[in-house]
Amino acid sequence: MSDRPQIDPPYLLFLGDARDALAAKTARGVFVFRPEWCLGQLRLPGCKPRLDLPEMTVEEAAAKGAKCLIVGVANAGGVVSDSWTATLVAALEAGLDVASGLHVRLSDLPAVRDAAEANGRHLFDVRHPSQEFKVGTGIRRAGKRLLTVGTDASVGKMYATLALEAEWRRRGVPCTFRATGQTGIFVAGRGVSVDAVVADFISGATEWLTPENDPDHWDLVEGQGSLHHPSYAGVTLGLIHGAQPDAIVVCHEPTRTNMRGLPDWPLPELDACIEANLQAARLTNPDVVCAGICVNTEALAEAEAEALLAELGTAHGLPCVDPIRTGVGPIADRVI
């Protein structure tokens, strides 16, 4: 792995002036999966969402030991608002690093860049890889790997992967969560945002992210996009080939009627999705298997969710769970 500095916790989560919960999804994802890393939240006037964390200024957070301010906002265009600049500069002057997953680079903002240089702090633009990658080779490497895939984009692949990591660790199975998106990188402390890698190098970047390891060690790789989504299938395919997975877990949101952002494009059937991902994965690992199905049942009542999980599990002959509602124990049983 690279010697690039790691994003060190504890974190101060910056929600800026987010208008709704979706705009603060990055901060929420970090808080849900790494609550022990989160000291507090910082919200500007007009910010509507909030987390179950104390409100803090950057000075208060620094005094309590915070190491990094995480820009936990996802907005249209991925821009850094002018109204945030004073807070970002103050954080750097207080001794914190600053990390962002937005499209606009922190290092391209003169006031922020100058403050980081003056105070000897790091700026982490996690959406933009800081190293060059080689093309993928497909050469078999030691260690085991599991990759989450999906019937659509944004169906809970990161949540499923992190739930699997928690279950693996609970059982004492050696594993590493491998982040491939900006929120996941904040959770892991490092990773590669594969949707920002030049297409020819996506599989190579994924090989770099999931290197040779001990034979009994599992890399649990966060999936992106969907093979069935015309907008993102290319990223998904490179990730599949580079991960060289021994097992895939298919993620699904059952209430959707169309692919995200494409109202005229229906979701694939689950069996077609499973087979398409297995077929793609066999290029670099002929022995790959599907280990289970993770369903996001948040929009369903308890009884309805329970019935659906049972129905899908029976229909496909696989463990079928909701990572949040039921846990992923049955998938771990099948794999481990």
Residue 51, pLDDT above cutoff 50: yes
Domains present along the chain, CATH in parentheses: 11-125 (3.40.50.720), 144-335 (3.40.50.300)
Contact 10, 30 (CB under 8 A): no
Residue 22, pLDDT above cutoff 80: no
Mean pLDDT of the chain: 94
Summarize the confidence of residues 23-27 as an average pLDDT: 89
pTM score of the predicted model = 0.88
Which comes out higher in pLDDT, residue 164 or 128?
A: 164
pLDDT tens string 250-261: 999 999 999 998
Residue 23, pLDDT above cutoff 90: no
pLDDT of residue 81: 83
pLDDT-derived band at 21 (thresholds 50, 70, 90) equals confident
How many CA atoms, within 13 angstroms, populate the side-chain half-sphere of residue 117?
Answer: 9
Summarize the confidence of residues 218-247 as an average pLDDT: 97
Residue 2, pLDDT above cutoff 50: no
* Percent of the chain residues topping a pLDDT of 90: 86
pLDDT tens string 304-319: 999 999 999 999 999 9
Q: What is the DSSP letter of 141?
A: -
pLDDT tens string 260-272: 989 999 999 999 9
At what angle are helices 302-316 and 270-281 packed, to 10 degrees? 50
Beta carbons within 10 angstroms of residue 297's beta carbon? 24
Q: Output b/e per residue, 177-202; b: 16+ Cβ within 10 A.
A: bbbbbbbbbbbbbbbbbbbbbeeebb
Say what the alpha-carbon torsion angle 182, 186, 188, 190 is, to the nearest 10 degrees.
70
pLDDT of residue 76: 60
Block residue for tokens 């481990």: 336
Summarize the confidence of residues 241-252 as an average pLDDT: 98
CA distance 195 to 225: 9
pLDDT of residue 77: 62
pLDDT of residue 1: 46
pLDDT tens string 169-226: 999 999 999 999 989 999 998 899 998 999 999 999 999 999 999 999 999 999 999 9
* Percent of the chain residues topping a pLDDT of 70: 98
Q: Which two tokens stand for residue 79?
A: 């821009």
pLDDT of residue 127: 87
pLDDT tens string 71-88: 999 876 677 888 999 999
